[in-house]
Amino acid sequence: MDLYRRRYQEHPWHTPHRALNRIARAAYYGGRAEPYRLGGQSAVNVYDANSLYPAAQRRVDLPDPKHTALDASPPSPYARLRYPGLSYCTLEIPDSAVVPIPVHVEGGLFFPTGRVTGCWTHNELRAALEHGVRLKQTRWSLYSPQAVHPFGAYVDDLYALKASCPPDQPGRRQTLKLLLNSLYGRWGVNLDGCLQTLVPIRDTADLAAYPGGELKLINDLPYVLRPVGQGSQPAYANSLWAACITAEARTWMLPYLTCAPDDLVYTDTDSVCSTAVLSIGSGLGELRLERAGVDMAVYAPKEYTVSLGAQLLEVACKGIPEALRLDYLRGHQVAFDSPIGIVEAAGRGGSPGVWIERVRKRQVKLPKRAPLGEASPPGESLPTRAWTTRELAELLPPSGFRAPTVPVCLGD
Query: Which one has a higher pLDDT value, 198 or 80?
Result: 80
pLDDT, tens digit, 9 for 90 and up, residues 133-152? 999 999 999 999 999 999 99
Give the range among 134-143, 251-260, 276-285, 365-374 with minimum mean pLDDT: 365-374
CA distances (Å), origin 121, targets 56, 102, 140, 154, 191: 14, 11, 12, 24, 19
Q: What is the mean pLDDT of residues 125-130?
A: 98
Amino acid identity, position 266: Y
45 CB neighbour count, 10 Å cutoff:
22
Q: Where are the beta strands (DSSP E) in 210-286?
A: 214-218, 221-227, 264-268, 271-274
Q: Say whether the peptide bond before residue 377 is cis (omega within 30 degrees of 0).
A: yes
pLDDT, tens digit, 9 for 90 and up, residues 181-193? 988 888 888 776 6
Percent of the chain at pLDDT > 90 equals: 63
Give the range among 1-5, 66-70, 220-224 with minimum mean pLDDT: 220-224
pLDDT, tens digit, 9 for 90 and up, residues 402-411? 444 454 555 5
Phi-psi region of 24 (alpha: psi -120 to 50; beta: other; left: phi over 0): alpha
Q: What is the mean pLDDT of residues 259-274?
A: 97
Tell me which DSSP letter residue 401 carries.
Answer: B
pLDDT band at 398 (very low <50, low <70, confident <90, very high): low
User: What mean pLDDT, rounded, does the chain reach?
Assistant: 88
Query: Which one has a higher pLDDT value, 205 or 372?
Result: 372
Task: Name the burial class of residue 89, with classes exposed (0-12), middle (13-18) and buried (19+) by CB atoms within 10 angstroms of its CB.
Answer: buried
pLDDT, tens digit, 9 for 90 and up, residues 376-390? 566 688 999 999 999
Q: What is the mean pLDDT of residues 285-297?
A: 97
pLDDT at 404: 40
Percent of the chain at pLDDT > 70 equals: 88
| Per-residue pLDDT at 255 exceeds 80 | yes
φ, ψ (nearest 5 deg) of residue 196? -130, 155
Q: What is the mean pLDDT of residues 120-129?
A: 98
Q: How far apart are CA 348 and CA 73, in angstroms?
A: 45
pLDDT band at 47 (very low <50, low <70, confident <90, very high): very high
pLDDT at 379: 67
pLDDT at 350: 64
Whole-prediction pTM: 0.86
pLDDT at 171: 94
